[in-house]
Structure 1
Amino acid sequence: GDVVGAEVELRRALELKQSENTVVPLLATALLAQGKGKDVQAMFSKTTLTDAKSDLALKIRLAEAEAMVNNIDGALAILAEVLKASPEPAQARILNARLTAYKGNVADAMAQLDALITRDPTQAEAFLVKGDLLQRGPDAKTPPDLPAAAASYRQALKLRSGYLQAHFALTSLLVTQDDMSGIKAELAELQKVAPKHPQTMFFDAIVSEREGDLKKARELTQQLLRGASNNV
């Protein structure tokens, strides 16, 4: 959606004294979607909402803001508070696992995800992150488990149809394996749900190049470059 427009409307809602419990978590989400982690910190780091569920949602947004500015320890500290207050928020557990892996403890992160999936096997994002970790492997001595990673991405897609991040992750994995039939199948799905997305066009260019359609590959690449230059 239009996150810039959403930010404007939500700021206006705050000015009009609408419920902070409703508006603040949504405004923090809109700011994060624009990469404005510092704004979230500045505006809400000392805010406590009166509704417990809304306050937990805000704290998770604050943890995301800390991670966005690369304060991983700060983010983990906020998440520890959230999970101490309530073990329920799956989003907090998934972010905690992501950041644990970022700090190098992939095995611990995987254990956190497995525990969450056992408790709630409907969490598509948990399977997405698990797939990412399976591609890395638990340590330098253990090779990645690419078939298991692909299966995890497919489970994420089964749970959430049209989940772009899972589509992109699975297709990228198939590209590294040079699995043309798999790449083409995923590309067909992406062209249904996000035909103009740069990642979809990128994968289309790869397929075109590998199938010898160099003209189409070049045209797609030029479109991508024009789009990138327009966003600078």
Structure 2
Amino acid sequence: MTEENVRDLKMVGTTTSAGGRFRNVKLTGESVFSGDVDCFKLANTGEFIVNGSLRAIELKITGECKVQGSLQALSARGRGELMVSSGVRGENIKFTGSIEVGVDCEAGTLEVDGAINVAGLLSADWLELNMYGPCRAREIGGTTLLVKRSKATKLLNLLKSSGQAKLTADQIEGDKVELDHTEAGVVRGNNVKIGPGCEIGRVEYRDTLEVHKSSVVKESIRQ
């Protein structure tokens, strides 16, 4: 797709589109696409639904986005609620609010202030999770994994789910792993720091391990 052979799309109010290939897409209000959307840039203010897959080089969301298929974006930023029925792939994702992914979520850099729920694998070279609500992933993997609970409450109105701000995962593995308020079966890493409020079944580490006095690690193994 080149910029010369596609057009811009602007939708305002309550609108529908068949989908297709576009250059720049600007949405304001309530927008529904009945098929796949492939574009260079997409900016949304309000609510939009894609009854297919969404692919964009640059994605900016303010409000609510529902994608029935998969989501691919080189850069994705936003505030509100993002729900993807299939998988998510992105190079740079930064989001404030809640993210729900039906399969796997893969990113180069993933920064989330809020809550995230991934049914499968959550992987990122750099993961920074600042929790305002309950978070869940079956497995988490990456290079640098930083998870903490925020003391602020200003984002609670963005989260539909209510509950304790903590991360639950079966397995977490990275080179550098720092976890607060996390419940996990197995944690693996070179340098592992278990902060406050954690309950870990087993930690396998190569270089260093720190465990906060308020946390429980049932078994630790240096490899």
Q: Taking structure 2 as the reference length, what is the TM-score of the superposition?
A: 0.28
Q: Which is richer in helix?
A: 1
Structure whose alpha-carbon radius of gyration is higher = 1
Q: Which is richer in strand?
A: 2
